[in-house]
Amino acid sequence: MREASKVWTRADGRKAEEIRELRAELGISKNASGSAKFCMGNTVAIAYVYGPMEVIPKFLEQSEKAILEVNYNMLPFSTEDRKKPGFSRRGAEISAVIKRVFENVIFLEDMPKTKILINIDILNADASTRCASINAASLALASAGIPMKDLVASCASGKVGNHLILDVAGKEDTEGDVDLPIAYLPVTDEILLLQMDGIVSISEFNKLIELAKKGCQQIYEFQKKTLIEFKKGSS
């Protein structure tokens, strides 16, 4: 008899279409309007939401809607090689990406002449930091009572060798062939963010999109459960 073929597993022991353990904690800062820590395996992001608040300087305010500011920051000890503190082009790029995501989700027109600030700190980076950041920010905004179309969920799919994988982590990010993070709005079945490093066929691209959406749906259900439990504990 032939031996049963072994199921391919990844470096961390997961199956190809398995996401990492998800953990979340809300209300971690008393000074913020809303705050949340979101963990995807060893990747840890904390988001703090402030506002709606007064716009300073005044000339920056918009009469028809609120303005949104997002600051993404990887702390110096978040990576194996100590990161230099201060401005980085990568941080500015990810901040801009996350801002565009939430500008399409928050009802900014309901809060004219105000400002909403989202500060995001990466405590530990093990790939997919922008995904963890979006997931944390979504929960923080909801806990702050900021009006939104729905929660946003974010996850990355990718390709390692001949395998299409879900929730890129660890060396899969740097040594894999493809990394494709998305941000997904379930209520409208809308992809708000799509970035890709690497080259794949059209068929593989479509499969990666569906795989990433599958991961986002799992994260979305986890986000909803986390919010419900938080509200029960607060009541």
**What are the tens digits of pLDDT across the range 21-31?**
999 999 999 99
CA distances to 170, 172, 222 from 229, in Å: 30, 33, 11
The CA distance from 94 to 197, in Å, is 15
The DSSP symbol for 100 reads: H
Provide the terminal-to-terminal Cα distance of the chain, rounded to the nearest Å.
61
Residue pair 113/63 in contact by the 8 Å Cβ criterion: yes
Q: How confident is the model at residue 233 (pLDDT cuts 50, 70, 90)?
A: confident
207 assigned to some structural domain: yes
Residues 6+ apart with CB under 8 A from 17: 165, 166, 211, 214
Q: Is residue 230 part of a domain?
A: yes
Q: Give domain status of residue 123, yes or no.
A: yes
Q: Where in the sequence is the domain holding 74, given as residue range(s)?
A: 22-234
**Crossing angle of the two packed helices 129-143 and 202-234, in degrees rounded to 10:** 30
pLDDT at position 43 is: 97
Domain count along the chain: 1
For residue 81, pLDDT over 70 is answered with: no
Q: Which residues contact 18 (CB under 8 A, 6 or more apart)?
A: 166, 167
57 occurs within a structural domain: yes
For the chain, what percent of residues have pLDDT higher than 90?
Answer: 80
Task: Report the C-alpha gap between 101 and 143 in whole angstroms.
Answer: 18
Q: Does the residue 14 lie in any domain? A: no
Contact 210, 184 (CB under 8 A): no
pTM of the entire predicted model: 0.92
CA angle, 99 then 202 then 101, to 5°: 10
- For residue 59, being part of any structural domain is answered with yes
Question: Of residues 118 and 170, which shows the higher confidence score?
Answer: 118
Angle 228-130-62 (CA atoms, 0-180°, nearest 5)? 80
Q: Is residue 6's pLDDT more than 70?
A: no
Helix (H, G, I), strand (E, B) or coil at 89: helix
Q: Which domain CATH number covers 148?
A: 3.30.230.70
In-domain check, residue 2: no
Is 66 among the domain residues?
A: yes
Q: HEC profile for 202-222?
A: HHHHHHHHHHHHHHHHHHHHH
